[in-house]
Copies of this chain bind each other. A is one copy, B any other.
Amino acid sequence: MSTQGRGLHGHVLDILGPEITAGEYPPGSVLRTDELAHRFDVSRSVMREVVRVLESMRLVESRRRVGVTVLPICEWNVYDPQVIRWRLAGADRPRQLRSLTVLRSAIEPVAAGLAARNATAEQCAELTECALGMVAHSRGQQLEAYLVHDMAFHRVVLTASGNEMFARLGDVVAEVLAGRTHHDVMFDDPDPAAVTLHVQVAEAVRERDAARAEELTRQITVGALQELDILAPRVEF
């Protein structure tokens, strides 16, 4: 599921983007538009469009007489979904997974609290449905079905918060959850305690108990962090 297989432009981006985010060109490296165009066998026009996009992601900077310079990580637009996908697919996947999980631990509890205030009746119903789906598939090697409901659950919470910045993290959280199931070691069945917590969050939101929804969600994210510490301890801090 690359972003835009459409067009030569998207194709080149799908190769060059991951290379840069993987750190194959150290910060300060200089690429030449013409060379890249030749390498990918595309016209300079196409190559220029690719560079423009990379530039808007702050992965590179283009300067006259110098070339296309790779920027240090601290400059990157690390919230760009495309950049996140590239990094998750690449070498510093563990690091990215950790920073995203920490991000979740900050965002989701607050989002859940807001959801308890702002969720529509329909969203409350969706939430309950997702939680029940998680329960239903929590035993007997049904990780895929479980994952679907888990992703949906968190997406509904973030959307129901009513804050667009939170809502936009739905995709990111989904990828983190999917990553946990697909790439990393995952226990045969999800932690029963976590399943229960999801059900309780749905309850709390339905009952408009913001404080409880927040606290329960905090427990979920703390659990996710601990799980990460067990599987891949001390990758960064």
Is A100 in contact with B237, judged by CB distance below 8 angstroms?
no
Q: Given the complex of chains A and B, what is the CA–CA distance between A79 and B103 in angstroms? A: 14
Interface flags for A24-52 (1: CB within 8 Å of B; 0: not) read 00000000000000000000010011001
Q: Name A79's contact: one of B52, B102, B165 (CB within 8 Å).
A: B165
Is A100 in contact with B164, judged by CB distance below 8 angstroms?
no
Query: Chain B's nearest CB lies how many Å from the CB of A138?
Result: 28
Verify if A73 is at the interface (C-beta below 8 Å from B): yes
Q: Which residues of B contact A109 (CB under 8 A)?
A: 106
Q: Which residues of B contact A166 (CB under 8 A)?
A: 102-103, 106
Classify the secondary structure of A's interface with B: helix
Given contacts A52-B9, A118-B237, A237-B118, contact A73 B164 (CB under 8 A): yes
* Count of interface residues, chain A, beta-carbon cutoff 8 Å: 40
Q: Name A105's contact: one of B45, B57, B81, B110 (CB within 8 Å).
A: B110
Is A102 in contact with B110, judged by CB distance below 8 angstroms?
yes
Interface flags for A98-140 (1: CB within 8 Å of B; 0: not) read 0110110111011100100110000000000000000000000
16 residue pairs bridging A and B, Cβ less than 8 Å apart: A45-B48, A49-B49, A49-B52, A52-B53, A77-B80, A77-B81, A78-B164, A78-B165, A79-B79, A79-B168, A99-B163, A103-B166, A106-B111, A106-B166, A114-B237, A162-B237
